[in-house]
Amino acid sequence: MAPHSTSNPTPDPHATTLSYDFHPPAPKPESPHHSFLLHRSLLLPPDTVTHASGTTLTLSPTRTIIDACGGAAVSCIGHANDEVLAATIAQMRSVSYVHTGAYTTAAAESLASIILNKNPYDLEKALFVSSGSEAVDAAMKLARQYFFETGRPERRNFVARKQSYHGNTIGAMSLSSNLPRKVPYEPLLLTNVSHVSPAYAYQYQLAEESEEQYVARLAEELDGEFRRLGPESVIAFVAEPIVGATSGCVPAPAGYFRAVREICDRYGILLVLDEVMCGMGRSGSYFAFEQEGVVPDILTIGKGLGGGYAPIAGVLVSRKVVDRLRDGTGMFNHGQTYQAHPLSCASALAVQKIIKRDGLVARCRSMGQFLEGELREALEGRKHVGNIRGRGLFWAVEFVQNKETKRSFEPRLEFGHRVQKKAFDLGVAIYPGAGTVDGVRGDHVLIAPPYTITETELRKIVEVVREAYDVVERSTMLY
């Protein structure tokens, strides 16, 4: 059979170039603000920070902003700390990178030690990764391997809570219940994750319920979900001790986590607590779980670990889980290129030394009490301020259209975002939240300044938040 004919001539082997019929379109002219960086929004370019020091961000030679949220509760000791910078540079001069499959460094070993040495909670090992999402994924794998090592491969399910957030990787997003972030990716998410009600008393405790009755109802729901799945099929229950940005600094009612711990123990289910946002001193105790009277089997940590000086998060593992691996394969079947990265560990070690040496956890607790008082005095009587809540230097203000019914504003009004934007215009950066109540409705703003914040700075922050709120309240009356 003759070969398929073509109208294209045979290329000249001596030609230096080939011509093609395809002509790429001419590039579009670039705007003066064109960026090759893929920002979170393609429509609203972010402000450029030219300098950061202490609690101040400089956006231009003449404009400065008080960083009252630490980015996302990250900058726990402020910006441009000379000790941290010196420690990071010293580490870079000695060892900038090694692969943890074969090597370790003093920075990584010392960081694990300063967190875990002589801790009274039976947390034995630390694993360091580059983000909270990676930490949560690693925790999920570790929890699964715990049961695999014991010959119980039927354990495959995770239970988490609605209005929670655990990260943006596929595993962590599957655990999360931040609905707007999940919508495009629903077909990709894990099917072995289910969710129970949030421990969110302001919106979900019934008027006729006492706090004890509310806790009992939540505990019964969790127990019922374990029984529905078959307790022998459940790996872990995963929860934030204080829910972060998704619903805005929501602490659980008293006794909730003790009830959760008892139910998990009854069925041999692991308790995984996610303290990526609320831990490492942020809530007024080094670990947030200390205030709940329980100890997790696996704990994730993050933002306040390194204070934003380098990408780092971690997983802390109880002796119970470590012993199971030690008696089995003797390894955690997981690894990442930048695991326990020397520069990140050196930066975080310097941050943790400063926190411990300067008593910043206790300071966070006392300054948090001051912040609470200022917020309540300035805002509690306002028409649309429904709830002021938090611990340590981790506080949120939830806005509602009707304080008696706790009915939220229509999402289109973007009440919380407008408060945040106006506060920014007035020189203070706070963190906005929408979908607070159920993923669709609800508004809040979050305040999480460095542990080194002063009373004068806190007064200024609250003054600006009050002024921003007043402007938005007046404008909302026009809708």
pLDDT digits (tens, 9 = 90+) for 322-378: 999 999 999 999 999 999 999 999 999 999 999 999 999 999 999 999 999 999 999
Taking only the tens place, the pLDDT of each residue in 111-153 is 999 999 999 999 999 999 999 999 999 999 999 999 999 999 9
For the packed helices 256-267 and 211-229, what is the interaxial angle rounded to 10 degrees? 20
Element (H, E) at 391: strand 385-391
Structure tokens that stand for 390 in this block: 């938090």
The residue type of 23 is H
Helix, strand, coil % in the chain, rounded to nearest 5 = 40, 15, 45
Cβ proximity of 155 and 144 under 8 Å? yes
**In sequence order, what are the residues at sequence separation of 6 or more whose Cβ sits closer than 8 angstroms to the Cβ of residue 453?**
55, 367, 393
Instruction: Tell me what pLDDT residue 395 has.
Output: 98
The residue type of 408 is S
pLDDT at 294 over 90: yes
- Structural domain boundaries in the chain: 51-79+359-476, 88-356
Cβ proximity of 289 and 299 under 8 Å? yes
For the packed helices 415-425 and 455-476, what is the interaxial angle rounded to 10 degrees? 130
pLDDT at 7 over 80: no
What percent of the chain is predicted at pLDDT more than 70? Answer: 93
Instruction: Tell me what pLDDT residue 242 has.
Output: 98
Question: Is domain 51-79+359-476 annotated with CATH 3.30.465.10?
Answer: no
Taking only the tens place, the pLDDT of each residue in 314-323 is 999 999 999 9
DSSP letters of 28-44? PPPPTT--SS--S-SSS
Question: Is domain 88-356 annotated with CATH 3.40.50.970?
Answer: no
Q: How far apart are CA 318 and CA 255, in angstroms?
A: 22
pLDDT at 12 over 70: no
**In sequence order, what are the residues at sequence separation of 6 or more whose Cβ sits closer than 8 angstroms to the Cβ of residue 19?**
none
Task: Report which DSSP code applies to 22.
Answer: -
Instruction: Tell me what pLDDT residue 477 has.
Output: 78
Pairing of strands 242-243, 443-447: unpaired
What is the mean pLDDT of the segment spanning 369-398? 98
Taking only the tens place, the pLDDT of each residue in 176-205 is 998 889 999 999 999 999 999 999 999 999
Distances (CA, A) of 6 to 2, 11, 14, 20, 21: 12, 12, 21, 15, 15
- pTM of this prediction exceeds 0.85: yes
